[in-house]
Structure 1
Amino acid sequence: MRRILVLLAALATAACGEKATDNAEAARPARVVRVADANLLAGRALPGQARSAREAMLAFRVPGRILERRVRVGDQVKEGDVVATLDPAPYQVELDRVASSLQRARAAYANAASQLDRDRQLLAKGVIAKARFEVSDTTAKQALAEVKSVEAAQERAKLDLSYTQLRAPFDGVVSAAFAEAFAEVNPSQSVIRLIDPAEIEMVVNVPESMISYVPYMVDLKVTFDAVPGIEIPAEVSEIGREPSETTRTYLVKLLLTPPPGVIVVPGMAGQARGRPGPEIAKELQGVLIPLSATFSPDDATRSFVWVVNEGAKTVHRQPVTLGEPVVGGVSVTEGLASGNLIVTAGVHSLREGQAIRVSEP
């Protein structure tokens, strides 16, 4: 009897362990987003950083030793100004060598062309065979091809020599220098960074739950910590298409023009504010969610979303009434409220009451 009781206890323990294991395995990782109302953006400050809307990393297109760097950080340059030079001697030597080769190739072609003219006259008089004329014709064509090949090499050598001068592609300010005189550099190795201070943009990271409202924002204003109290009008110039893998935020660029007397330089920290335009209230008429969060089972005639029970870490199938599709998502007029946590990926593989591991942005 004692052995039977021990065996039953062991079986019960194993069954509990298997059940616990099954429950643990049933918990699935789920990407979620918290439902946000458009009004949450009204007056909300999104941190950002200024940078030049137009900048260039200047690099030589040929390798060599820097002979001179003519600018320092902070210098203003004009389009076409030479900002740095390489030692041109190796490229000048190569250009001279190719020029000599071109002279020889042209002389050889001149001789071949003269011989071809003579053989053409002799062939007409029947003095030489046609085979000899064909040899002369082939020799002249080969000589001409050699001339063209060396001419192309000469143009390339001229380009390489011109590439020893690094020029500014636009009016701007030198914001950084990465190489000094006498340093050996490779092609495409950054030497100078040039920015255009007249065109400044602020880069902000917008949460995934609010990115769809950005196209409808109006009265955008930007302020910088370095110049407090001054609001600079801005407009959206670019909206990122993919979120950051780590923060689940989207990169949004705001273009702005500092007013006279206000200096904004790349790297300055600030905030961006705005308010939802009338299109949101008119077109959304509810909350906005990613389209990937909605699904319609085969046996249903309406749409659903998975709402997360944050205490139990389980999901519940919630029927919703969809409104109009808009940029980045779809509106929900009934069934959800601001603050709900919903699943946004893998919605077709979940089941009612399933345990999940929440990965909230």
Structure 2
Amino acid sequence: MTFRQKLTFYGRRFRFAVAALLLAVLLALFWLNPHSAFSTEVSVNKSKPSGVPVDVVELKPVDSFARKRNYTGKVTAARVSELAFERSGKLIEIVVDEGDTVQAGMVLARLNTRHLQVIRLKLQAERAAAQAKLDELVAGPRPQTVAVAEAEVRQLNARLKNLQADLDRNQKLLKRNAITSSDYEASQYDVEQQQAQLDAARSRLSELQEGTRKEQVAAQKAVVANLDAALEDNQVDLDDTVLKAPFGGRVSKRYADEGTVISPNAPLFRLVEDQKLEAHIGVPVDMAVHLKHGSQQEVRLNGNNYQSTLKAILPELDPVTRTQEIVLSLSEQAAKQLVPGQVIRIEISEPVEMQGFWLPLSSLARGERGLWSAYAVIAGKEPGEKVLEKRQLEVLHTEDNRVLVRGTLKTGDQIVADGIHKLTGNQRVVIKNRR
């Protein structure tokens, strides 16, 4: 037997053995399950339908939401002053320079005061003289002066009596024609003149005894008060020759050097209160209405958040931006890190009345005619089957990674959350997770 004949012989025996083995297997299957052994139908596991696993979002209606808006403003110092002297003078000393930190009440510069010092010495001398005169008027006349006046009255009274006696004798002599009428009239005139002198002396004595008139004392007091006011005015001028810091801060600019003659109200320093910063931000009028004085607000700059307090809402509308400006007092931490002039932002929540459903942004796909679409999971034709149905949507508002939509949706619908680029309509799916 050749090699080819041997190969043919063994091939036939192998095919026979395989056929016998298959026949034995079929007989065994028929014996165990005669109904399904030769069935051509494919068995389906109805308890676990097949499909693509998806995550879904169950829709819940909303009637309103808080919309966040960002507004931009500027960081400013709480106080900025152009410091100047109130009077003219020669600048003789400058204590601080640009960039220096100063405290409230600290001396910054001085003017020459020689002329004012001379005026003050003159006023002090005049005031001392006026006070001495006032003291004299208040004390009244001395006892010796009163005694001299009393002696003068007695002297004039005695002389008057002597002249009166002469007048009486002359009257008798006139009746006897011993003297002429002119001699009698001369003696009568002497008596009247003496009487007038006596009356004047008595008035002077009475005035001395009563003391100084209150009107004179009042007038002299007014003179002293006027000089006191002049001295106070001089002191104010002296105080104005020293420039002090009205508040704590840093010197931003210096405009003059020593030796310069300063004019009144000419700025010498620019002082910035950098320890207390504010943010001035323009917001719409309808947004400012919802803000409350003293409320805490969070502002943002260069990726960092800072706390602030609403200090004021300015009553006027900006004619350029048509916004209402709000003033925020920044925290101490912000004052240490920020610089006046930087741009700062605030995020404010605005209540909006709008009905719709929230969906994750990943659940949307572009539709037709400017609309959007999403896939809803609905029941299929077979029991337990889940399939996809496309829904047309309108986007009402976008916020971070979610959108507010409306369209062919209803409460309780299950919308595919993500992975929609792999899906198509009427496709079988299996719900994996609910959100």
TM interval, short-chain normalised: 0.5 to 0.7
Q: Which residue of structure 2 lines up, in the alignment, with residue 77 of structure 1?
A: 102
| Equivalence for 2:90 | 65
Any gaps of 5 or more consecutive residues in structure 1? 1-36, 287-337, 339-361
Contact kept, 8 Å, 1:48 with 1:269, in 2: the verdict is yes
Which position in structure 2 is the counterpart of 1:254? 328
Contact (CA 8 Å) 1:119, 1:128: kept in 2 or not?
no
Partners of 1:217 and 1:70 in 2: how far apart? 39
Aligned to 1:93: 118
Distance 1:204 1:261 in 2: 17
- Does residue 177 (structure 1) correspond to residue 254 (structure 2)? The answer is yes
* Amino acid corresponding to residue 203 of structure 1 in structure 2: H
Q: CA deviation at 1:262?
A: 4.6
Query: Cα gap change, 1:116/1:176 in structure 2, threshold over 3 Å: closer, same or farther?
Result: farther
Given that residues 119 and 136 in structure 1 are in contact (C-alpha distance below 8 angstroms), is that contact kept between their aligned partners in structure 2? no
Q: CA deviation at 1:154?
A: 0.9
Residue 299 of structure 2 aligns to which amino acid in structure 1?
V
Q: Distance between the aligned counterparts of 1:112 and 1:135, measured in 2?
A: 6
Aligned positions of 1:206-355 closer than 5 A:
206-215=283-292, 220-224=297-301, 228-259=302-333, 262-276=336-350, 280=351
* 1:139 shift after superposition: 3.2
Task: Tell me how far 1:238 sits from its aligned partner.
Answer: 0.8
Amino acid at match of 1:208: V
Are residues 81 and 46 of structure 1, via their aligned partners in 2, closer, same or farther at CA, if it must alter by over 3 Å?
same
The separation in 2 between residues aligned to 1:90 and 1:214, in whole angstroms, is: 57
> Displacement of 1:124 after TM fit?
12
Corresponding pairs, count: 240
Deviation per CA, 1:94-148: give whole Å up to 9, x if none.
2122112212222332343344566996799767355676875433332222112
Once the 2 structures are TM-superposed, how far is the Cα of residue 165 of structure 1 from its aligned partner? 0.7
SS at match of 2:337: coil
Distance 2:342 2:275 in 1: 15
Please list every run of 5 or more consecutive structure 2 residues that lacks an aligned counterpart in the other structure. Answer: 1-63, 151-201, 355-396, 398-435
Under a length normalisation based on structure 2, what TM-score does the superposition of the two structures give? 0.48
Q: Kindly report which structure 2 residues correspond to 1:145-184, keeping only aligned pairs within 5 A, or say none.
A: 145-184=222-261
Cα distance per residue 1:148-200 (max 9 Å; x no partner): 21012112211211221111233321123344333333444433232332211
Q: CA deviation at 1:206?
A: 1.8
- Alpha-carbon contact 1:220-1:235 (below 8 Å) kept: yes
Amino acid in the other structure paired with 2:229: A
Task: Pick one of 197, 221, 228 that aligns with 2:274.
Answer: 197
Q: Is the 8 A contact 1:218 1:275 kept in 2?
A: no
> In structure 2, do the counterparts of structure 1 residues 122 and 196 end up closer, same or farther at CA, with 3 Å as the change threshold?
farther
Take 1:270 and 1:258, find their aligned partners in 2: how far apart are those partners? 16
Give the distance between the partners of 1:210 and 1:237, measured in 2 at CA. 16
Among 64, 68, 71, the residue aligned to 1:46 = 71
CA contact (8 A) 2:78 2:278 kept: yes
Match of 2:221 among 129, 144, 154: 144
* Amino acid corresponding to residue 88 of structure 1 in structure 2: T
Structure 2 contact 283–326 (Cα < 8 Å) conserved: yes
Provide the identity percentage. Answer: 24
Counterpart AA for 1:99: Q
Change (3 A) 1:48 1:181: farther
Q: Distance in 2 between matches of 1:75 and 1:196?
A: 12
Two-structure CA RMSD over aligned residues (Å): 3.6
* Residues 202-256 of structure 1 deviation map (CA, whole Å, 9 limit, x = unaligned): 11122334332333997632233xxx22111122111011112333222211111
Report the equivalent of 1:330. Answer: none
Is the CA contact (8 Å cut-off) linking 1:203 and 1:251 kept in structure 2? yes
In 2, Cα distance between the equivalents of 1:220 and 1:98? 59
Distance change (3 Å), C-alpha of 1:106 and 1:48: same
Determine the C-alpha separation between the residues in 1 that align with 2:312 and 2:113. 42
Give the residue type in structure 1 aligned to 2:105. Answer: G
TM-score with structure 1 length normalisation? 0.56
Residue identity matched to 1:169:
P
Residue 104 of structure 1 aligns to a residue whose secondary structure is helix
Conserved 8 A contact 1:217-1:275: no
Q: Which structure shows the bigger proportion of residues in helix conformation?
A: 2
Deviation at 1:73, TM superposition (A): 1.7
For residues 339 and 263 of structure 2, what CA distance do their matches in structure 1 show?
A: 30
* DSSP 3-state at the match of 2:224: helix
Cα distance in 1, alignment partners of residues 96 and 141 from structure 2? 58
